[in-house]
């Protein structure tokens, strides 16, 4: 067996377990998102590459159902800003790649909404610009690694305390699922 297999699995598990230190913050973010939903607001999520895929996964879990064994609940208003290739290429072509999320945030976000920026480096320019472009009253949540500017620009930050892109991405998925678990539990009794 390749050492790379065990090394990858172990580093991912270590990053996920390190997120136990973030449990209270994850719970706080989860309830802040739930409060926004209860007040009629939405969740916007953005990221690049694997983080874009995780943004889409996050929105899918909220619009669909996270766990089959839980009671049915109404879909939650979540938008992955990475999902519409026509919008991304239009904005990228007309304004530049750094503005692909900021322009959408300026057009879609309203006070009371929650914007989650996912960046393993914490330095993705277009995610930073999305935070900069958020209207007043939008809650900005960073889901990132241990370094970069994103956490400093956020109202709430969930920083995986270990390095390595693959490990951070594994931890981000676990954090997203933890948030979905809280939301599924909180809204489980809805018809």
| pLDDT tens column, 40-82 | 999 999 999 999 999 999 999 999 888 866 567 889 999 999 9
* Pairing state between β 43-46 and 78-80: parallel
pLDDT at 189 over 70: no
- pLDDT of amino acid 153: 98
Mean pLDDT throughout 143-151?
96
Residue 144 forms beta bridges with which residues?
119, 159
Q: Name, in order, each residue with C-beta under 8 angstroms of 186's C-beta and a sequence gap of 6 or more.
A: 30, 31, 34
Over residues 110-116, the mean pLDDT reads 98
Query: To which CATH superfamily is domain 3-186 assigned?
Result: Glucose-6-phosphate isomerase like protein; domain 1 (3.40.50.10490)
- pLDDT on residue 73: 80
H runs (alpha helix) in the chain: 3-18, 23-38, 50-63, 85-94, 102-108, 125-133, 150-153, 165-186
Place 128 in a pLDDT band, splitting at 50, 70 and 90.
very high
pLDDT, tens only, 157-175: 999 999 999 999 999 999 9
Helix-helix angle 165-186:23-38, to 10 degrees: 50
What does the alpha-carbon distance between residue 111 and residue 10 come to, in Å, rounded to a whole number? 41
Closest by CA position to 46, among listed 76, 77, 75, 79: 79
CA-nearest of 11, 1, 18, 29 to 186 is: 29
Total-model pTM:
0.95
**Smallest Cα–Cα separation from 115: which of 173, 172, 182, 58?**
58
Measured distance CA(165)–CA(137) in Å, rounded:
31
């Amino acid at each position: 067996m390749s050492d790379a297999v065990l090394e990858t699995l172990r580093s991912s598990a270590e990053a996920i377990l390190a997120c136990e230190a973030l449990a209270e913050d994850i719970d706080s973010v989860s309830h802040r998102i739930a409060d926004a939903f209860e007040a009629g607001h939405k969740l916007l999520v953005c990221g690049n590459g694997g983080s874009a895929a995780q943004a889409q996964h996050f929105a899918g879990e909220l619009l669909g159902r996270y766990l089959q064994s839980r009671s049915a609940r109404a879909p939650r208003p979540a938008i992955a800003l990475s999902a519409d290739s026509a919008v991304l290429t239009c904005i990228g072509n007309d304004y530049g790649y750094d503005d692909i999320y900021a322009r959408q945030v300026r057009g879609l976000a309203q006070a009371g909404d929650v914007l989650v920026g996912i960046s393993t480096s914490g330095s993705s320019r277009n995610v930073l610009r999305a935070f900069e472009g958020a209207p007043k009253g939008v809650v900005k949540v960073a889901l990132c690694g241990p370094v970069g500017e994103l956490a400093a620009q956020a109202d709430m930050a969930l920083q995986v305390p270990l390095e390595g892109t693959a490990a951070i991405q594994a931890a981000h998925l676990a954090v997203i699922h933890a948030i979905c678990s809280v939301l599924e539990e909180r809204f489980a009794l809805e018809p």
